[in-house]
């Protein structure tokens, strides 16, 4: 991760595997994060997740996953959460 340190600053980056659960009234994703940087590096967490898309101007594009992620990280660096997700938070911290 060393080359990404300037983009991440003191944030946590994780690699995510996504599962989608449907049936019996359920329709949501479960995101399994492998933490790659930050204080919890090397741990895993699985989180139920309802999809809330960010503003498309912050979407990253590239000819590989690495290029797309780097482009996205450069676009969101230093931007407040409310700029990226103008419809607000859906997590417990916002309540």
Domain that holds residue 32: 1-51
pLDDT digit string, tens, across residues 10-48: 778 889 999 988 877 767 888 899 988 877 888 998 988
Looking at the domain assignment, is residue 25 inside a domain? yes
Task: Mark whether 28 and 63 lie in a shared domain.
Answer: no
Domain tally, the chain: 2
pTM: 0.51
Same-domain pairing of 42 and 68: no
Of 59, 64, 85, the C-alpha closest to 74 is 59
Q: Check whether residue 38 and residue 9 sit in a common domain.
A: yes
Considering the domain architecture, whether residues 34 and 58 belong to the same structural domain is answered as no
Find out whether 12 and 40 touch, Cβ atoms under 8 Å. Answer: yes
CB atoms within 10 A of CB 32: 14
Report the pLDDT value the prediction gives residue 56, as an integer from 0 to 100: 80
């Amino acid at each position: 991760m060393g080359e990404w340190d300037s983009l991440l600053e003191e944030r946590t980056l994780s690699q995510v595997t996504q599962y989608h659960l449907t049936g019996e009234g359920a329709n949501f994703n479960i995101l399994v994060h492998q933490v790659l940087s930050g204080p919890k590096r090397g741990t895993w967490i699985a989180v139920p997740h309802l999809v809330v898309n960010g503003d498309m101007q912050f979407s990253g594009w590239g000819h590989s996953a690495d290029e797309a992620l780097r482009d996205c990280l450069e676009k969101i660096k230093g931007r407040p959460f409310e700029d990226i997700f103008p419809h607000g938070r859906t997590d417990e911290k916002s309540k």
